[in-house]
């Protein structure tokens, strides 16, 4: 892609929690934001505990040195906290490790480019095929699933707002803290990874709905669930329909983001528009930068 890649000092550290020390990770994050030659930061992988870093981050440093920050899954905590504390738009998108895919990477790369290499609004179109295989164990043995039909429209309607969210379980870790963004005028993009089941997603979503400002949310977009979650369209529809707070919100599901491949890149703190119709729903990313 014409990019020069460098690695942080502690990027290869690993401990019993499949992570590294808070000190090492904070030092690497600060160094990357402070270095004027670094234009973008990609997380190596997700994990389980990036919320450990939040109280040690120098938010003024990030605010004074805005740049691209991109990752998904556990990185949801950092994405939303950075936006809440600094106003910097960050990106839910592929990790550095995601780029190791040998096959079927074109869709992921296309939306990475659309979101990070251009300021032009773009539509989110469904992939032709998707996969939920452990691709890094055997790069040549991939199991593709045909992406049948269009996006699943659960509730009809139209909305435009600021994008928040990504991995629901991780997003919920920010509740009750100074690191959770306000919900006024937002569209929540939410996904959950296996082994979460339908009842897990149900209660995690309910937890968000209990927020005092949830009534200011304007729409919901759900990412694709992994096969082992066994969450069906019928179950997802039932979960939404049992929550009266969602009755008047447009809700679209089965979008290509989360823990399946391929995946889009979308801006946390950017602006999206959703048009939810029975047979022709549409998602457009309108603003995907801080300027």
Assign residue 13 a region (left: φ > 0; alpha: ψ between -120 and 50; beta: otherwise).
beta
* Cis status of the peptide bond prior to 195, with omega within 30 of 0: yes
Catalytic residue among 95, 191, 281, 288: 191
Residue 20 makes CB contacts below 8 A (sequence gap 6+) with: 10, 13, 14
Q: Is 191 a catalytic residue?
A: yes
Q: Is 73 a catalytic residue?
A: yes
Catalytic residue among 19, 50, 73, 127: 73
DSSP state of 261: B
Catalytic residue among 19, 229, 259, 288: 259
Q: Using DSSP, state whether 74 is helix, strand or coil.
A: helix
Separation between Cα atoms, residue 154 and residue 42, nearest integer Å: 33
Assign residue 176 a region (left: φ > 0; alpha: ψ between -120 and 50; beta: otherwise).
left
Give CA separation, 104 vs 56, 72, 99, 101, 127, in Å: 38, 19, 11, 8, 10
Phi, psi of 85 (to 5 degrees): -90, -25
Terminal alpha carbon distance of the chain: 23
Residues with catalytic function: 73, 191, 259
């Amino acid at each position: 892609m014409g990019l020069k890649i460098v690695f942080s000092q502690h990027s290869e550290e690993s401990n019993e929690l499949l992570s590294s020390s808070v000190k090492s990770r904070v030092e690497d994050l600060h160094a990357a934001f402070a270095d004027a030659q670094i234009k973008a930061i990609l997380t190596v992988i997700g994990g389980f505990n990036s919320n450990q870093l939040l109280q040690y981050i120098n938010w003024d440093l990030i605010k004074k040195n805005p740049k691209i920050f991109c990752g998904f899954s556990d990185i949801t905590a950092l994405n939303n906290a950075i936006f809440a504390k600094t106003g910097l738009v960050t990106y839910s998108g592929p990790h550095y490790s995601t780029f190791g895919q040998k096959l079927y990477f074109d869709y992921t790369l296309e939306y990475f480019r659309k979101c990070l290499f251009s300021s032009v609004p773009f539509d989110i179109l469904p992939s032709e095929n998707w996969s939920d295989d452990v691709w890094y164990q055997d790069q040549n043995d991939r199991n593709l699933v045909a992406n049948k039909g269009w996006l699943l429209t659960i509730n009809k309607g139209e909305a435009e707002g600021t994008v928040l969210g990504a991995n629901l379980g991780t997003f919920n870790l920010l509740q009750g803290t100074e690191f959770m963004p306000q919900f006024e005028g937002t569209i929540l993009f939410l996904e959950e990874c296996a082994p979460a089941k339908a009842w897990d997603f149900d209660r995690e979503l309910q937890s968000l709905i209990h927020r005092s400002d949830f009534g200011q949310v304007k729409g919901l977009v759900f990412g694709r669930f992994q096969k082992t979650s066994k969450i069906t369209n019928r179950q997802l529809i039932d979960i939404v329909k049992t929550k009266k707070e969602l009755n008047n919100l447009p809700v679209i599901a089965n979008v290509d983001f989360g823990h399946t491949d391929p995946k889009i890149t979308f801006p946390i703190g950017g602006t999206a528009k959703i048009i939810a119709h029975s047979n022709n729903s549409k998602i457009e990313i309108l603003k995907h930068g801080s300027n």
